[in-house]
Structure 1
Amino acid sequence: MTDPSEFKRGMRRLASGVSVITTIEDGQPHGFAATAVTSVAAEPRPTLLICVNRQVSCHDVIGRAGLFCVNLLAEDDMETAQLFSGSEHRHRRFAETAWRPLSTGAPALAGALASFDCTIAEAVPVQSHTVFIATVVDIAMRSDEARPLLYAGGRFDALRSAVAPA
């Protein structure tokens, strides 16, 4: 059997885009930083999935609300990513960033590379996590072509061009 700590070490070598997943319950916004976001299908209905650890404070709220918004972060959103990572900044998260609701009412980050407003179609428990499969009902996108914020090796980073200037 594979050692879980060795698995985690190996997965830290996989660079992933950084998102802030948000939801709303009783008028109160909730959110956390995540890297486990994947496109599932574009047709017949745009669908994506998120994987959420059951110990994350938003896990149960997402399930009860039945909706969430995936906000893809740009390299200039590193401070936002840090605010939504861990629990020490929870009280400042929504006060220090600009938000607007899309169709479901879940907070969409103003200036996110893209915000995917979703309703949950299915929730699949898998060991310590739940895979939420969702239908995208609305999308907002940033107008410029900013680079995505990445997470690899246990830290945030920016995408570098693979081609050296001539």
Structure 2
Amino acid sequence: MGCLLAAARAALVVVVTWLTLIMLMMLVGSFLPGPPPHGTYSPTDIMLWLLAFLLAPPAACVVFRRWITVGRAVRPVSPVEPPPPWPYAQADQDGPTWHTDTSPPPWPHAEPTSQAPDAEARRQDHAEAEKQRADAVRARAEAEKQRAAAARARAEAERKRRTAHARRSGARYRRMQEERRRK
């Protein structure tokens, strides 16, 4: 069904391209100033138009190949933006390098050198969340390793079963051949 739809879309692109070329050929005379002279189309114009009639549909199919195969409008893919830094991240330049301060901004009534009262608790919460995320990543990796090992074991067992079956059937065949020769 998908191939049939793709063929129909390709045929639609070809027909629309041909109709566009025919319309352009008909409109050439109307773009010229004054009354259309006799013999507006020279043999060279006709040959170029026929060449465009043959080469434009494949070019249009190449241009619209994504729509022909998928069947929906192509949306431009935007590059993935990196996630924003920790909510209180502030970058300040210290000479030629940049440093990121992940501590929250100071309270309005606090001294500039002191930290906010709950900054340490936020840091601990953040560290705990990062630890949980790292544990989850490790657990997923371990589960993937176990799935891969199980798949390898199943494939090996299937290979051994097929090999044993082939060995048994080959031995049976050889015995039947020997019995036929003896008779």
The structure, 1 or 2, with the larger RCO (C-alpha pairs under 8 Å, 6+ apart) is 1
Identify the TM-score tier after normalising by the shorter chain: under 0.3
TM-score normalised by length of structure 2: 0.19
Q: Which has the larger radius of gyration?
A: 2
Q: Which has the higher helix share?
A: 2
TM-score normalised by length of structure 1: 0.20
Q: Which has the higher strand share?
A: 1
